[in-house]
Every structure is written in structure tokens, then in C-alpha cells.
Structure 1
Amino acid sequence: MSADTWWKNGIVYQIYPRSFQDSNGDGIGDLDGIRARLDYLVSLGIDAVWISPIYPSPMADFGYDISDFCDIDPRFGTLDGFDALVGDAHSRGLRVILDFVPNHTSDRHPWFVQSRSARSDRRRNWYLWRDPAPDGGPPNNWVSNFGGPAWTLDPSTGQYYGHSFLKEQPDLNWRNPEVRAAMYEVLRFWLRRGVDGFRVDVLSQIIKDAQFRDNPPNPDFVEGQDPFHRWLMLYNTDLPEVQQIVAEMRRVVDAFSDTHSSRVLIGELYLPFARLVAYYGLNAQGALEGVQLPFNFQLIATEWQAARIDRLVRDYEAALPPGAAPNWVLGNHDKPRIASRVGQQMARIAAMLLLTLRGTPTLYYGDEIGMTDVPIPADEVQDPFEKNKPGMGLGRDPERTPMQWSAAASAGFTTGTPWLRLAADWRTHNVEAQSHDEAGSMLALYRHLIALRRAQPALNRGSYEALAAEDEVLAYARNGEGQRLVVLLNFGAASAPMSPALLPRQPIVLASTDPARAEFIKGPLVLAPYEGVVIGAVVDKAATMR
């Protein structure tokens, strides 16, 4: 195994820490809770745990407003507890990835407190400060992701400060070398504690136009849409200068890699393929010096049809620079859950797709048991996104509800009152119940697919080959080390006969989303409605048994 095998061929599992496991009864998940569930993660078969922010925070945006980059919020635990978690994870062969939030701090961070104290303060230029427009309003037309202008007036100094999100989240000035040096030291702080990598929050937005020009209007904007989309973010996202910063981050992280294990950077980037792949950082010498895994979110946004996904995968594979590692994501803490988007039957197809495509898959906690979005009444809403834009359906609470562990009180998540309400089906739809159903449950399917991915070299590190099939069937092969496995996914509500030409000689079903599917194929292969299968040859199975 090479030093980068764990992130190139492994599986990343995202934990939203408030919702994974509470160890002290306060209704909020914590580090000791994650530590108590490590054996579950090992049994699932994942390789790395990505933990959303756990730093000290006033929690205006639930941890993405950070008041100290180099400590642990008491709600989640302590630095000693974090060290114990990393040690226990490593002893089990699990890697630990942290969220790195470079775009902004909390307005209570000591840096910003200093910065706003006076125009002459030495940290004034650590943030984006601008004089008012001639009419006294904001300096330009930039808008916040969470609603309203991206500028707030500070009456005591008479200038506006910029914030891409809440006014409690002032943006750092990444054009200032002192800011870069301080933030790179944050990376080193956690790398010295054994962290294996970082998921970098809103990476494309961290540097802004030096002239602070107005963004142009969006010609495709339709009244009734989120007002955020009224303007094209030409001058405050995805600027060319960000690539230099990405390369600098990569060098910081690479300094902690060795021949046994490389550290990884994962970029949060909601960009089309043509722009996304630029963040791999292909330089003039043909080396990749950017983030190793620019997050590919296209499966979250695309229409759930075989032909659309077939085109999407082909386009992505064609856009990747030489030597780049692909990756795929079905869901995260900001988007509706896959089972809510496509339904439980199709969520099984989605699981097979995610775990058989070429590249690093990322799982979102709870998707492996088919958790769905939970409707949150207006008086229980926690998410500032929803509070700032009520009635637009932008709230992220529904996909952040507590993990459903068992039929015990509060689904085994806490002995207290959960910070968000549970799904109505938690008594029957949980890890414990699905663990007893080793054939038909979603959890059983995930465990089987992950085990198959580990066992079969063609799935683990083989190439991708698109295959032609009927309109409602997505077909592709994975080839590697003398193996050829065929994946057939029926997106249709009708049975789908498969051409024998698609199948290997002596075909055998290595996995199916249908628990009733027999292992050996007798006669023509006909997929059931919404069935997916992984087909190998008898010799392939025999080889993995030895």
C-alpha cells in the first residue's frame, strides 16, 4: 500500500458531531460519543472519519463561527479528549479528518475584537474593512449567503466589514500575508496532534476582488428565487488568486506526510466540472499541487435518471487531470438526505452507485440506515439559514437530526432531550434493528457493498468503462488486475432484460439491491424494478475466497 492509499481508495464517513452520539446527557453529541461508536464505524468498513467543526464557538452558525481555531468547544469535550479520540481511531485503523474554516472567524474571535477596536489597530487589515458608499450604504452589491448585504456597518469606526455568511462571521483578508501565516499555523497545530487531513470549508470564496467591484446581474434570475442568485458571484468567488493559496495550503500539509501516510486536503467546492478540476492544481510540470480531493457534489444536484448520471460520470472522468483522484458525494450536512430526495428504493441504487464508481466515496452519517429528512416545526428551527430566509425551504435542520441507534429512549443518542427532534420512525428504523436484518436492511447492503469494494481490486482501484444499455439502465464496468466487473442499475419502475453481451462468461451476482436475488444466474438476466447488481465471473469470486 502506498502512502495515499487510504484517501485514494478508502471511504470517508462524515460525522455531524452535534448529532452522532451524546455521552453526557445534555442532548448534544460530543467527542466522547464519537469515541464510544468507533467500533461501529469499524464494523461498517469505512477508512476515515470527517468531523464537522468542534472548535470553541458562540454557535451562531453551529460551529462555523469560530472564536478559537486551536481548541475544543466545551460542548464537545477537551483537547485531551480529542487526543484520546485520535489515538483510539488510529489504533483501529481509522483516520481522522477535521473541518478547516479559513474564510471567516466569529465576531468574538480575539483577532476580530482587536480589528474592530480602531482603524489604526495592527489587525485592522486582517479583515475586509471598507468605507461606506457615497450614499452611506454598503461598499458594493455583494450579498450574504444567509440573506441581505454581505456588509455590516461598525458604528464605532465608521466602516463596513465584509461577511459572506452571518454578520457574526466576518471574512478574513487572505491578501494579508500575516493572515495566511496565522491560518497555516492552525493547520500545523492540528497536524502535530495527529490529524490526517482537512476538509476545507467554502474554499473558492476565501479571496475577494482587490478592487471590491460590484457583481454583475444574473440574466437567468427569476423573481421568487432566493435573492442570493440575483447576482453572479464574479468578484467574490473562484478568483484566480485562490489557486496560489491552495498550493500554499498543500505545501503545509505535505510537510507532515511521509512514506507511510500522506495527509489529505478535501475542498468544499460547488462548481461545474470545468472549474472544479482546476483545484487539483495541475502545474506547468504536470504535477498536482492543489487539494487532493476537490469535492464532487454533482450527484446531489443532478436529476435522478440513468441517462443524466451516465453523461455526468463520463463528463467528470473526461475532465479529470492526469493522475487526479476522483471522488463522489451523495449527501452532507447542508443538503437534503438521499433517501428523501429519491425514496428508499432508489436510495439502495444510490448506495450501489456511490460504492462502485471510481474514486473516493463520502458517506453522510445515517445514510447507511436510510435516514430521511425530519420536518422541523417553525418554533423548533435551529438553523440560521432558515431563520434568515423563512418559508424558502433552505433550512438544514431536517438533515442534521440525531443518529438513530436503537429503540431505546431518544434512539440511544442521548439520555437527555435531543437538540433536534427525532424522526417519527426511530423506534423501528435504527442501527440495532437493521443489524439484526442481515439480508434485507439498508445497513446490510452498505456493509456488503463496502466489503465487496475492499475485496475486489477492480472496484477498489480499477478503471471506469461506460457501457451502453437501455434508457432506464445505467451500465458500466470496472476493470483492473485481470478483473472485469459489471454494474447494472435499473432506474425504472419496470423489469429490464439485460443483453448477454453485457455480462462476463460464467456470470455471478456479487451484490444486489434486491435481497431475493439469487447468486447464480440461470438463463437471461432480468433486473427487477429499481434493482442494481454487481456482476462478476465465477473465477473472480473464487480468487477473492482464497
Structure 2
Amino acid sequence: MDRVLTLQNRSAAELLVSGVLGGLNRTGSAVAAGVGQYLRELRGSWPGWAVGGRVAGHMASLVPQRLLGVYHTLLFTVPGTPVTNYGDEIGLRDEPGQAVKSPRMQWDESGQADYNQNVSVKAQKSHPQSLLSLFRSLSDLKGKERSLLYGEFQTVLASPSVFSYLRRWDQSERFLVALNFGESPEEVTLQHPLLPPEATVVLSSDPGRQGGARLALGRLALQPSEALLLKFPYVA
């Protein structure tokens, strides 16, 4: 993080893509601390976020498969610009032994005999619970929701397993993010002066979670490795 911040302060770049997230321990509290520190140290500069890259590799080769939905949700809901590698949207993995990570994109099943053994774009595009569907939904929300684009960021909970935060902008709809980095279910109490007793499910990485459901924030049950995005309206 120190090297990234030094470069940010020395350059006139309007957007510096940071690999800070990839260097953090994969716990709720560690990621919360890293995100908070980076946003504070930037002193108002616009952040860019990535997990991996052309040299570092694809996200699916750097974080456990179970956390791909968590990290995509994180990238698209923290303040700033998410930057992803081609193929991250389907969980493309790197081929071993390459200095520059450039596996073949899996558009269909014709290349499945190689090392990657990834599910293809063709297989995922019509599946509502696929990683590609989650990626597309997050990208759409990031592009049109003012709270996710420009909103204030406030941590609600940072525990060993769960990182939760609030995004809000003026009178726009508010968004609440809850990320379970753990491998076990977690029941958490999300408390903040701006939070209502209940919020509505926008999307989840867990296939058993239904969009549009109303959930109580005082006793919120998260599934293992679940990324959950909730919303609630502005109230004067």
C-alpha cells in the first residue's frame, strides 16, 4: 500500500489502479482495515481497484473459488472504479508456468481440454446464478446507481469473517453490502444510525437467496462465503 500511495502522490494520474485488495489477508476485518486505510490515505483522489492483472494473474488463480462472488461484489461496490481482467467474469484461471498470465478466453466448450477446465461464457450466460450473471448485474448497478457511483462510504461491521458497509448519496436509494469471507454461516447484527430495521435483497452470490426479499438487519444470517447487496430508500 505504501508504494501505491507514494506513486499516487508523485504522479498527476487521475486514476491509479491499485492491487491493494490482492495483498490483504482474506478476512473481513483485514479487508475492511485495508479498504478504509487506502481511502483515507488517498485524501479525496479517485481510487481504482483490481485483484490481479496481466502480470499478477487472474482473480480465480489468486483467491479461492468460493470467494469469487465476494471479491467481485467488493470491487463493484466500494468507492472508485473496478478494473477486471478479461475472463474474470467467468472465473478464468491462469495456465501454469507463464510469466505473463494470458490463458485463452473460454467462449464455449471447444477449449475445455486444456488446463483451465473453466465453465464457458456460453454455459454461464443463460444461468441466473452464474458468476457471469452476478458480474453483469453488479456492472449494471455500478453504472446507474448514484450511491454506488458517488456515495459516501461508511463501515458498518468489520469482524474476523464479515465486512459490511453502507453507500449513500444525497436522496438516492441507499445500499448496504455484507460480505462473509468465512467458510461457515454467520449471523450478524448490523447497526448504524442510518440503517432501518429491514432492507431489501438486490442480489446475492448464494443461489438460495431470493431477490426482493425483506431481511431484518438486527439478526442477518449470511451463508458461507456469501456476498449480499441490500437496498433501502432515503427517508428525510
Q: TM-score, normalised by structure 1?
A: 0.40
1:306: Cα distance to partner? Answer: 1.6
1:320 aligns with 2:42: yes
Specify whether residues 318 and 278 from structure 1 end up closer, same or farther in structure 2 by C-alpha distance, changes over 3 A only: same
Contact 1:512 1:531 in 2 (8 A): yes
1:213-362 map, 5 Å = 272-280=3-11, 290-322=12-44, 324-362=45-83
Q: 1:446 aligns with which of 129, 135, 145?
A: 135
1:422: Cα distance to partner? Answer: 3.9
Structure 2 unaligned segments of length 5 or more: list them. none
Contact 1:512 1:533 in 2 (8 A): yes
In structure 1, distance between residues paired with 2:9 and 2:215:
48
1:442: Cα distance to partner? Answer: 0.7
1:452-472 CA distance string (max 9 Å, x none): 222321011112112234321
1:123-272 map, 5 Å = 272=3
The corresponding residue for 1:509 is 201
Contact 1:510 1:536 in 2 (8 A): yes
The one-letter amino acid of 1:533's match is L
The one-letter amino acid of 1:404's match is Q
Q: 2:107 aligns with which of 390, 396, 405?
A: 405
Contact 2:187 2:222 in 1 (8 A): yes
1:72-87 map, 5 Å = none
The one-letter amino acid of 2:104's match is P
Contact 1:339 1:367 in 2 (8 A): yes
The percentage of aligned residue pairs carrying the same residue is 27
1:370: Cα distance to partner? Answer: 0.4
In structure 2, distance between residues paired with 1:458 and 1:299:
22
The one-letter amino acid of 2:214's match is I
In structure 2, distance between residues paired with 1:309 and 1:452:
22
1:14-25 map, 5 Å = none
In structure 2, distance between residues paired with 1:306 and 1:327:
20
1:278-302 CA distance string (max 9 Å, x none): 135xxxxxxxxx1111221111222
The corresponding residue for 2:163 is 474
The corresponding residue for 2:153 is 464
The corresponding residue for 1:490 is 180
1:272-329 CA distance string (max 9 Å, x none): 344133135xxxxxxxxx111122111122222222111111111111134x211111
Give SS of 1:454's match.
helix
Contact 2:177 2:227 in 1 (8 A): yes
Give SS of 1:529's match.
coil
Specify whether residues 402 and 271 from structure 1 end up closer, same or farther in structure 2 by C-alpha distance, changes over 3 A only: farther
Specify whether residues 465 and 276 from structure 1 end up closer, same or farther in structure 2 by C-alpha distance, changes over 3 A only: farther
Specify whether residues 319 and 445 from structure 1 end up closer, same or farther in structure 2 by C-alpha distance, changes over 3 A only: same
Contact 2:203 2:228 in 1 (8 A): yes
In structure 2, distance between residues paired with 1:355 and 1:455:
12
Structure 1 vs Structure 2 CA RMSD? 2.1
Give SS of 2:46's match.
coil
Judging by fraction of residues, say which structure has more strand: 2
In structure 2, distance between residues paired with 1:325 and 1:469:
23
Residue range with higher mean Cα deviation, 466-475 or 443-452: 466-475
The corresponding residue for 1:526 is 221
1:515: Cα distance to partner? Answer: 2.0
Q: Which 4+ runs in 1 deviate beyond 6 A?
A: none
Contact 2:52 2:62 in 1 (8 A): no
Greater RCO between the two (CA within 8 Å, min separation 6)? 2
The one-letter amino acid of 1:423's match is Y
In structure 2, distance between residues paired with 1:272 and 1:433:
40
The corresponding residue for 1:170 is none
Give SS of 1:295's match.
strand
Contact 1:273 1:319 in 2 (8 A): no
1:201-220 CA distance string (max 9 Å, x none): xxxxxxxxxxxxxxxxxxxx
1:425: Cα distance to partner? Answer: 1.3
The corresponding residue for 1:219 is none
Structure 1 unaligned segments of length 5 or more: list them. 1-269, 281-289, 377-394, 412-420, 541-546
1:366: Cα distance to partner? Answer: 0.3
Q: TM-score, normalised by structure 2?
A: 0.88
Contact 1:277 1:321 in 2 (8 A): no
1:522: Cα distance to partner? Answer: 4.8
The one-letter amino acid of 1:441's match is S
The one-letter amino acid of 1:536's match is K
In structure 1, distance between residues paired with 2:78 and 2:191:
21
